[in-house]
Structures are given as structure tokens and as C-alpha cells.
Amino acid sequence: MSHPLISVAMCTYNGARYVREQLESIARQTAAPDEVVICDDASTDETTQIVNTFVAHSTFRVRLVRNTGTLGCTGNFERAIRLCRGDIIVLADQDDIWKPEKVAQIAETFASNPGAGYVFSDADIVNEQGEHLGISLWQTLDFEAPYFIACRQLEVLLKRNLVTGAAMAFRSSLCSVLLPIPAAWSRDYWIALLGSIFGYGVPISERLLWYRRHFGQQLGCGHDTFAAKVRTSLAAEPDYYAKAARIAELRQRAEACAWRVSCLPEHLRLLKEKQLHLSRRALIRSAHGGDRIARLVNEASSGRYQRFSFSWGSVIRDLTAVVSSR
């Protein structure tokens, strides 16, 4: 049995400060990837010069593609993914540092789980200087691997994203349902959801990279207290119509692909229920007078707050919004 070809899809944009360290960590892998595809989103700093220097000395195939104009994070990653030729595609950010066993552990996990569509690992969080902050990526997400079982993971993910793109890899066979990635979606959440709709994901408990947290990131992570998370949640006014529209987009893609890729009917039903729940929460906030309370009571009694939001915490949040707007 031949080993699967492994591609790394990496995106860069004005990453001169960190990209060399990331590339060197990929070069130090105990099991080298078969190719690295780097898409640069029209950087204006020295990023591409650093990458070209790495290409000239690399012992494995590295391809640099420069965009003539900026595509944005999602568009740039989609282009990199499309250019990969491997059986397994490992996503890479420009500013992290891979531990030497990352590629080998990913390959081993896929080999041990032939039905898995994607895998994702934990990571150590470091600051701009690469100093460990004493916490892991999964700890910031309150994620526990034993609870992420195949039969329930889609429902878990429909509450919130628990998969970080920088720690993720997936089978290229999934590309037929993943691409194109809608602009309104983050690549990691889109891949994780569709990967769990048409299969399942496997968490890797080892911390396979140093995940750099700094102010220049498009997406970061922190370790706020519960009180801080509540304050942030209450301060942000959610657009449930937009959230419902995104789930409708996901549902449309899943239903369009279900005829050619095996999919459990229960998964499609979950998407329908999630979309309905978000639509109902939007109506609760946009209704007038006593209709708001009636709609809130009806939705609370449906059980969807428990399945698709944060149970009574979300009920209280919507109730607070209703009362404060009266």
C-alpha cells in the first residue's frame, strides 16, 4: 500500500516578520511533506523574497504563487487548496511554528482512521516573541476530545466552531463538496461542518504546533474569564438573519452534494433545525410588543435553544434584549 501524498496549503500576506520561522519548522519535519503550495496575497513587504530564498534551498517541492490583487484570507486559502495535488492537505498559517512530528502524526492519524475526512490537533499558545503563555488552544476553547464523538460532532459544531484552521488537515477527496468556500464563511468552520456532515473528524490530543497570538492576526484566541466572555457576548449585537443565511448556504451545499456523496438524513435535518432556530431568534428580536415574549416562549419550549445555542444562557440573552427594547 503506497503512502498518501501530503500537501501543505500555506497563505502569506505581509508576513515577513514570522514566515521564515514557520518555513524552517516545516523543513524540520520528521516526515517531510510531498509539496508545499504557498499563495501570497499581494504582499508589499519582504515576504516573497524570504519565501523564494527558502524555495531555492528546499529539499522538497515548494511552489510560490503570487496573486495580482488581494483575495482575502478565505479566497487566498481556497486558491492554495485548489493548487494542491496531495491526498491529504494540511493547512498552514504564516506565523505559527510546527513541531517536528506534526506531519507524521497527521499521516498516522489518517491511516488509523480511514473513514475520517479531517483531523485537527491541539496547540501551545505563544506570544509574538514565541514565548509560551502557559495554555493550550483547546483550553481556550473549553474543548475536550472525548466528547467529540462521530455520532454527535455535527450537533456540537452547530453550536460553535471548535476547529482551528492552523491545526487542521483534510482529505483532498472532500474538495468536491468544500469548494468553492463562500466569502461569508471562515475556511476552518466551513471545512469542519461539511467534513462532519459527509463523514467525521478526529481530534489529535497532542499539541502539534506553537500557535502564535498577536495583534496582527485576522483571527486570534484568548483565555478570558467567564465574566469577560459574558460581557463580550452581551456587548455584541448578533445578526441572526445573517447567521440563518449562512446556515442556509451550508444546507444548500450539503443537499446539492448528498446525491453523490454519502450523507446521513439526520445531518440534513440538523441543518434545517439550526436554520429554523436562528430564524426564530431573529424574529423574536424584530417582532413587536407581546409577540416577542410569545415567540420566545415557543422557541424555548421547542428544545432548540438547548441543541443549537447555549441553552438557558441564550434564552436569557434574548429575553434581556426583548425587555431592554420595550
Q: Is residue 1 part of a domain?
A: no
Are both 180 and 256 inside the same structural domain? no
Are both 208 and 238 inside the same structural domain? no
Are both 170 and 240 inside the same structural domain? no
Are both 97 and 21 inside the same structural domain? yes
Q: Which residues share a beta bridge with 11?
A: 39
Q: Is residue 111 part of a domain?
A: yes
DSSP state of 144: -
Q: Is residue 218 part of a domain?
A: no
Domain count for the chain, please give it.
2
Are both 160 and 274 inside the same structural domain? no
Query: What's this model's pTM, rounded to 2 decimal places?
Result: 0.91
Are both 21 and 168 inside the same structural domain? yes
Residue that terminates a domain, selected from 212, 235, 261: 212
Are both 85 and 193 inside the same structural domain? yes
Q: Is residue 167 part of a domain?
A: yes
Q: What is the pLDDT along the chain (326 residues), one digit of tens a residue?
A: 578 999 999 999 999 999 999 999 999 999 999 999 999 999 999 999 999 999 999 999 999 999 999 999 999 999 999 999 999 999 999 999 999 999 999 999 999 999 999 999 999 999 998 899 999 999 999 999 999 999 899 999 999 999 999 999 999 999 999 999 999 999 999 999 999 999 999 999 999 999 998 655 544 333 344 344 444 444 455 789 999 999 999 999 999 999 999 899 999 999 999 999 999 999 998 877 778 889 999 999 999 999 999 999 999 988 888 777 66
Are both 173 and 89 inside the same structural domain? yes
Residue that terminates a domain, selected from 212, 241, 270: 212
Question: According to DSSP H, which parts of the chain are helical?
Answer: 19-27, 47-57, 72-83, 102-112, 137-141, 153-159, 175-178, 187-197, 226-235, 240-257, 265-286, 290-302, 304-308, 311-324
Are both 50 and 157 inside the same structural domain? yes
Cβ of 191: how many Cβ atoms within 10 Å?
Answer: 29
- CATH number of the domain at 205, please: 3.90.550.10
Structural domain span for residue 38: 6-212
DSSP state of 157: H
Are both 198 and 267 inside the same structural domain? no
Residue that terminates a domain, selected from 172, 190, 212: 212
